[in-house]
Structure 1
């Protein structure tokens, strides 16, 4: 096989319920000029057997690891051995939609100067039913987003779905990969590091789907509210210090971003049935003023995120 143009990094752990859907979505792309690298973190449910079933169907390499309990560390490992110029993540419960690779490769071929490519995604439930769209508040293709704009908007909220981006491997290694101390916000931190390096291009139509279900790490680990909030604060403070912007812009963005963290923490608390101080949250929202409200609404994608999760809760309680 010729050198692949894309490396697909697939960290797995006890993912048998959805993994076949994930791998089948790669298979449907019909692109053999990619490499898929899956690393299993000590699964006990048959995940490894499913991966091995696809070795002859896909250009797939399977690495069997010992249980580390850290998807970030395993992802960094397979990033270090990837061979393609471009890389993307695909988690065991997410899927690609048809023509994803054809469309994204066309964009990459036409715009080799762009550092980060991404697209809209769908929210789906455990049965694969679409719950809504997950869009990014960025200029639409064929316009590129400059680093300053992308960082400014990403600081307020991580609006990038894990299966959406394709990025340069060289850039990922340059920024040191993902921070292995951040079990919840490693992807947000990583996108911000990449954003500072160069321009991005956003394709506004959904080409992947992000699955919401009760057993996902996103849901399970968000129950630790103190750590959840602290990890968000670490990323915000880290990148505010690095961001080259006026004092006024930094101040205004920080105020909105702090409220966004409080809102995310409150939503996590509500999901897990924990006590939330809604009055304090309301006061912190009101002091943002109309300009702050608008920026938060635009950049946080709060409506899309909340309505998708509400639909899941309503369907499971019916």
Structure 2
């Protein structure tokens, strides 16, 4: 049996509303040499039936079920089952550009020393059907990511953005199963701390669906997970600066996702108090975020979402 270039790992728990479009974004890839692992993590909706119907029409799709064990355990299971040279993770409510895998493959061919890569993300609102329609994109810094960058605003943002040499992933170890939030950020910190080169592509390849009811919208839990994570690396970076950047990121996320205005203001003030200089180092992100958080009580959630999407 030939080794596929990529193993695409999708952990699934009650994702019947978004699963088909997510899987279609994989099946429509211009790079066809992949296997697609659909891993059901104890869904109680129609997700499993959708998975089996999709697998019946494409031999590259493999379905595996388990009792609910959490997203980290499910991703780790996917890597254990994977045969590809690279593992690419995708959440069941996100989508890829059709050239996602092809672009990463060429990137790694040209840079064999890079074993982990990511790309630019489009933050998709409900009224934005495609990546090119998104009003807001992430930024990709030049060169290798540092520990401080990962523990600050984390340009990778989501595991749906990660492409990793499978042998390197196995050597670093899997995602921590005792963390519900920041588990992908923790893996990146561990990888960079071990010397792995994590480098970004300045290409828009991932669509991240924003939802006030999604797992990542629990911003308080994300902040708690971040504080737990940085405790392991406090001696290796400037904590106040990283806190300022991460709180700024959470404040912007609260503004764009329709979370409460009180929550947006609290994160903005926490970041500003931690390090005013770092919080405002990017005037657009810093001052605009602060102004938006202060004005958010008199804005409708729809207006805040459109301004900070």
Please indicate the TM-score interval, normalised by the length of the shorter structure: 0.7 to 0.9
- Report the CA distance shift for 1:274/1:205 in structure 2 as closer, same or farther (over 3 A): closer
Shift of 1:113: 1.2
CA deviation profile, 1:231-256 (whole Å, cap 9, x unmatched): 11111121334x4xxxxxx3xx3111
Q: Which residue of 2 aligns with 1:65?
A: 66
Residue 49 of structure 1 and its aligned partner are, at CA, apart by 1.3
| 3-state secondary structure, aligned to 2:160 | coil
Partner of 1:255: 240
Deviation at 1:116, TM superposition (A): 1.2
Equivalenced residue count is 289
Counterparts of 1:208 and 1:276 in 2: how far apart (Å)? 27
Give the superposition deviation at 1:85.
Answer: 2.1
Asked if the contact 1:7/1:88 (under 8 Å) is kept, the reply is yes
Q: Which residue of 2 aligns with 1:150?
A: 146
Residue 173 in 1 paired to residue 178 in 2?
no
Alpha carbons 2:13, 2:40 under 8 Å: kept:
yes
CA distance in 1, matches of 2:205, 2:109: 18
Deviation of the 1:302 alpha carbon: 6.9
CA contact (8 A) 1:2 1:33 kept: no
Q: Give distance in 2, aligned partners of 1:171 and 1:74.
A: 18
| Partners of 1:126 and 1:94 in 2: CA distance | 12
Q: Give the drift of 1:127.
A: 5.0
CA separation in 1, counterparts of 2:303 and 2:162? Answer: 25
What's the offset of the Cα at 1:23? 0.8
- Give the alignment of 1:1-318 within 5 angstroms: 2-55=2-55, 56-57=57-58, 59-68=60-69, 70-126=70-126, 128-129=128-129, 130-139=133-142, 144-145=143-144, 149-160=145-156, 161-196=158-193, 197-219=195-217, 221-222=218-219, 225=220, 227-241=221-235, 243=236, 250=237, 253-263=238-248, 272-273=259-260, 275-276=262-263, 278=265, 282=269, 285=272, 288-290=275-277, 293-294=280-281, 314=305
Q: For 1:105-135, what per-residue CA distance to the aligned partner results, in whole angstroms no more than 9, with x for missing partners?
A: 1111121111211110111123543433432
Task: Answer yes or no: is the 8 Å Cα contact 2:241–2:274 preserved in 1.
Answer: no
List alignment gaps of at least 5 residues for structure 1: 244-249
TM-score after normalising by structure 2: 0.81
**Residue 179 of structure 1, CA deviation:** 1.0
| Cα shift at 1:282 | 3.5
SS in 2 for 1:181: coil
Whether contact under 8 Å (1:131, 1:311) holds in the other structure is no
CA distance in structure 2 between the partners assigned to 1:43 and 1:279 by the alignment = 35
Q: Name the CA distance, whole Å, in 2 between partners of 1:101 and 1:277.
A: 35
Alpha-carbon distance in structure 1 between the residues aligned to 2:45 and 2:27: 23
CA distances 1:47-99 after superposition (whole Å, capped 9, x unpaired): 1111112213251110011223x111111111122122211111111111121
CA 1:280 to 1:136, structure 2 compared with 1: closer, same or farther past 3 Å? Answer: closer
| Consecutive unaligned residues in structure 2, runs of 5 or more | 294-300
User: What TM-score do you get using the length of structure 1 for normalisation?
Assistant: 0.78
Post-superposition Cα deviations, 1:236-277, rounded to whole Å, max 9, x if no partner, equal: 121334x4xxxxxx3xx3111223444566677785548559
**C-alpha separation between the residues in 2 aligned to 1:150 and 1:34?**
30
